[in-house]
């Protein structure tokens, strides 16, 4: 028998709010975190808008010593550590300064780590100044740097690792942590993901022409999932983190329980049957959703709300079609659906974890956050589901018991997670 797994802590550093309280207020209000960045225009970007957490020097000092902050350039590690430390504290867990916590571990994902540090290192190396690289260049550049930093800050002695699966990373990390806890290999796991911010992460997507370059003058209205006027995704960054714990451990501690993790599935489309490096194999997506339901013991008719991947690209109608096919539900029978990317943009490797934090907060506090900027629903979507199934303003009247959260990424990779409102 697998252990029941619950979520007992959340932390977040998002473009529209850093910290649980600020983020909850923002997503309830439909507040966008997308801004215009003059630097992007100066660097000849087509898309000159994006989303990044606003973190003051004073806030940094609440998490890092001045020594740690010296020459510290990795925004992804910064965001991940803030979200992770906050989730740990939110769960009511302490940090033992003497011995490792053998029962607790981390799966904290990332796409690319320390891009700014790599740029600095390349300049120094090309200038023959290898001795000026400093002692922090390796942990900032290595992919597992974020989990390594957090593992030391929290003193964790169970598995401490990093996953990386493009835009599926965050959702995948939660499922990896779930399996470890459910199978009795850890009492609790800190799960989540992070993404560096700025031009050196976003530039490749600008070159691919998949970002919205038509809305530089209206940044807060630019990210438009499921909209007929969607013109590409808006880049974002940040981090989300969740503490997953056995139900018995949470109950013994008297911890707040935000939601229950029922399970899920991870797969890939093999870049076959229409799937490519950048486009999903619809059969694989549908299979992933069906497998997630089966693995979680959930009937398709029990899904009340879909927290979609929905990036504001031409693939949004295809995603809705895949959900309808996998669930065997369309029209008025289709679940409610929304996308957080309307408020924060596409946070790449951090997307799944930030969006999962939002889903968990909604479950716990009995609200459904809105998909803003969707006044003109794409006509191909309306052929599948009615407009009232798209949540476009905050709702507290929708009874939500089970949420399906999915992430789909470059490389034709997929993950689907099932979350349930906690009940004894």
Share the mean pLDDT of the chain. 96
Instruction: Using pLDDT thresholds of 50, 70 and 90, give the confidence band for residue 125.
Output: confident
CB hemisphere CA count around 63 (13 angstroms): 26
Domains and CATH numbers, the chain: 5-259 (3.40.47.10), 263-420 (3.40.47.10)
Task: Express each pLDDT in 213-223 by its tens digit.
Answer: 999 999 999 99
Contacts 24+ apart (CB under 8 A), 280-286: 280/315, 280/318, 280/322, 280/408, 280/412, 280/414, 281/412, 282/318, 282/321, 282/322, 282/325, 284/412, 284/414, 285/319, 285/322, 285/326, 285/406, 285/408, 285/414, 286/322, 286/325, 286/326
Choose among 194, 138, 199: nearest CA to 164: 194
* β partners of residue 261: 5, 419
What pLDDT, on the 0 to 100 scale, is given for residue 126? 87
Task: Express each pLDDT in 88-114 by its tens digit.
Answer: 999 999 999 999 999 999 999 999 877
Cα–chain center distance at 275: 23
Q: Tell me the C-alpha distance between 355 and 352, whole Å.
A: 5
Task: Express each pLDDT in 131-186 by its tens digit.
Answer: 888 778 888 888 899 999 999 999 999 999 999 999 999 999 999 999 999 999 99
> Residue 212 has which token pair?
């919205």
Q: Where are the alpha helices (DSSP H) in 161-281?
A: 169-182, 199-208, 247-253
Tell me how far CA of residue 368 lies from CA of 129, 231, 241, 335, 351, in angstroms. Answer: 53, 25, 20, 13, 18
Choose among 130, 116, 18, 112: nearest CA to 71: 116
Burial class of residue 211, CB neighbours in 10 A (0-12, 13-18, 19+): buried
- pTM, rounded to two decimals: 0.96
Task: Say if residue 118's pLDDT is above 80.
Answer: no
What pLDDT, on the 0 to 100 scale, is given for residue 28? 98
> Residue 50 has which token pair?
């994006």
> What is the arithmetic mean of pLDDT over 233-259?
98
What contacts 1, CB < 8 A, 6 or more positions away? none
Q: Tell me the C-alpha distance between 352 and 12, whole Å.
A: 12
Under 8 Å between Cβ of 50 and 345: yes
Tell me how far CA of residue 284 lies from CA of 81, 149, 249, 273, in angstroms. Answer: 33, 35, 36, 9
Under 8 Å between Cβ of 143 and 164: yes
What contacts 212, CB < 8 A, 6 or more positions away? 47, 49, 222, 223, 224, 230, 231, 232, 233, 234, 312
Total residue count of the chain as it appears in this document: 424
Query: What are the two backbone dihedrals, phi and then psi, of residue 354, each rounded to the nearest 5 degrees?
Result: -65, -45
What pLDDT, on the 0 to 100 scale, is given for residue 282? 98
> Residue 417 has which token pair?
């997670």
| Number of Cβ atoms within 10 Å of the Cβ of 160 | 21
Task: Say if residue 52's pLDDT is above 90.
Answer: yes
> What is the arithmetic mean of pLDDT over 401-410?
97
């Amino acid at each position: 028998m697998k252990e029941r797994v619950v979520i007992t802590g959340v932390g977040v550093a998002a473009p529209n709010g850093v910290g649980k309280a600020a983020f909850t207020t923002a997503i309830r209000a439909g507040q966008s975190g997308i801004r215009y960045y003059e630097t992007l225009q100066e660097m000849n970007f087509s898309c000159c808008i994006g989303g990044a957490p606003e973190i003051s020097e004073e806030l940094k000092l609440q998490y890092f010593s001045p020594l740690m902050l010296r020459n510290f350039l990795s925004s992804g590690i910064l965001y991940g550590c803030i979200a992770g430390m906050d989730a740990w504290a939110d769960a009511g867990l302490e940090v033992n300064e003497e011995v490792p916590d053998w029962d607790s571990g981390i799966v904290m994902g990332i796409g690319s780590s320390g891009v700014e540090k790599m740029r600095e290192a390349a300049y120094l190396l090309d200038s023959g100044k290898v001795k000026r690289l400093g002692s922090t260049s390796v942990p900032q550049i290595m992919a597992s740097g974020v989990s390594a930093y957090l593992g030391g800050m929290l003193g964790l002695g169970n598995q401490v690792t990093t996953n990386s699966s493009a835009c599926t990373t965050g959702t995948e990390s939660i499922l990896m942590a779930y399996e470890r806890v459910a199978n009795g290999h850890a009492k609790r796991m800190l799960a989540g993901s992070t993404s560096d911010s700025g031009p050196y992460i976003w530039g490749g997507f600008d070159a691919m022409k998949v970002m919205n370059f038509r809305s530089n003058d209206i940044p807060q209205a630019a990210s438009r999932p499921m909209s007929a006027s969607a013109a590409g995704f808006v880049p974002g960054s940040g981090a989300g983190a969740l503490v997953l714990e056995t139900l018995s451990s949470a109950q013994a501690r008297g911890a707040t329980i935000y939601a229950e993790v029922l399970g899920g599935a991870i797969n890939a489309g093999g870049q076959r049957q229409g799937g490519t490096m950048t486009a999903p194999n619809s059969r694989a997506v549908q299979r992933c959703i069906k497998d997630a339901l089966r693995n979680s013991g959930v009937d398709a008719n029990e899904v009340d709300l879909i927290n979609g991947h929905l990036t504001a690209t031409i693939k949004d109608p295809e995603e809705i079609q895949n959900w309808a096919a996998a669930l065997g539900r369309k029209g008025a029978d289709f679940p409610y659906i929304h996308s957080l990317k309307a408020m924060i943009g596409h946070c790449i490797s951090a997307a799944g974890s930030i969006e999962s934090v939002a889903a968990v907060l909604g479950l716990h506090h009995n609200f459904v956050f809105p998909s803003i900027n969707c006044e003109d629903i794409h006509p191909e979507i309306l052929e599948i589901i009615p407009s009232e199934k798209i949540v476009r303003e905050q709702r507290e009247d929708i009874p939500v018991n089970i949420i399906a959260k999915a992430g789909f990424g470059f490389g034709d990779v997929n993950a689907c997670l099932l979350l349930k409102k906690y009940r004894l």
